[in-house]
Homo-oligomer: A and B are copies of this chain.
């Protein structure tokens, strides 16, 4: 039987184990499977686990569990690491390498593929997409993103109602989302907004320069009109203050900056410049791990990505990434197709496109079918009758 080596890499999502399950169950009858522990780190160190019935059952039990059950991680790689990986794969007699990951993973897979080609090895290289940030190219979107977007859209509307109740105590909340250098997640915060009193009243994304005076003016106007203002800011936004504009990082691990903290820099600006009570909050790791708010479409697509990749592996495909291609039908539908790994890597970090930045409603039309409807209907935060009394 051919030997397929399978791993997970990068930040986990709520559905990355669903993709692993789809891939495993598409392959285990026909191939020998070997699993990598802890992503590229384990691949370099040769930490492999043979697929047994017990492991397969355990992967099935994990299919709806957040986190990457094989172990994931972030691992900065140089040419020696690539060589070591290829040597390890040769040593165990691998016929194919399939890794579920994001942009960093696809870059690494391309390097491995180049090395393999140079050596003339018959080793297939396949990437399976996952990213909450939605910054992978050549796919309509990636598994993990819709569930994170759903979490953010719900949390924003819920916290908006909380804030609206408490506006005589606290007027401004600044919520910070994930997204790295893209605004897909931050912009998703407005998906369920139906009433102008509800936030977000301002969304700051990395694709657009944040003008602090404009932000403060919007907050001031919202507080004037609604009594409160809810601001969403993406972790990758650069603040345009006196010092040189740059992203705020909370830590650097293995040379990778962990973004986070721009909201807490905005908080004192609001308090000092506008004299309002403001609270900044990171929406946190829960954005990518919350099991309570998984989108059923996301779960379904994550599974199909896995089973489709399994099919291509058996057909001998290499140098490809599984992708989601939206059909041009009235009702939402997708094809799972393979695209060139080179194309994906060359496109790089995919930003929120201009036509969505210009018109968030166009973005929400695109986004809505992935995330699903809000299960609770939220009436206007102020009853019309109460409004009448005020006039």
Residues of A within 8 A of B (CB): 8, 11-12, 14, 37-39, 41, 49-50, 52, 54-55, 58-59, 61-62, 64-69, 71-75, 151, 154-155, 157-170, 173, 250-251, 253-254, 258, 277, 279, 281-286, 288-293, 376-381, 383-386, 389
Contacts and interface: CB of A to CB of B under 8 A. Distances in A.
Q: How many copies altogether?
A: 2
B254 A383 contact: no
A148 to B, nearest CB: 12
A75 to B, nearest CB: 8
Given A289-B158, A289-B159, A49 B279 contact: no
A292 B287 CA distance: 13
A292 B54 contact: no
Contacts of A251: 277, 279
A379 B281 contact: no
A69 B381 contact: yes
Contacts of A377: 61
A253 B67 CA distance: 38
5 contacts: A49-B383, A49-B386, A62-B379, A251-B279, A281-B285
A173 B55 CA distance: 28
Contact of A168 (B73, B250, B383, B389): B73
A165 B385 contact: no
A289 B55 contact: no
Contact of A67 (B74, B165, B284): B165
Contacts of A284: 281-284
Nearest to A280: B250
A376 B64 CA distance: 7
B285 A282 contact: no
A385 B55 contact: yes
A52 B387 CA distance: 13
A161 B292 contact: no
A162 B281 contact: no
A386 B165 contact: no
Given A291-B158, A292-B293, A72 B166 contact: yes
Given A49-B389, A166-B72, A277-B253, A290 B154 contact: yes
A291 B156 CA distance: 11
Nearest to A380: B58
Contacts of A279: 250-251, 258, 285
A231 B333 CA distance: 42
A386 B42 CA distance: 13
A377 to B, nearest CB: 7
Given A14-B158, A72-B166, A159-B286, 5 more contacts: A12-B162, A54-B384, A71-B168, A159-B285, A283-B284
A306 B318 CA distance: 63
B385 A52 contact: yes
A293 B158 CA distance: 12
Contacts of A11: 166
A65 B376 CA distance: 7
Nearest to A383: B58
A281 B281 CA distance: 9
A169 to B, nearest CB: 5
Considering residues A161, A167, A173, A250, which has the most beta carbons from chain B within 10 angstroms of its beta carbon? A161
B73 A158 contact: no
Contact of A165 (B59, B69, B258, B281): B69
Nearest to A374: B291
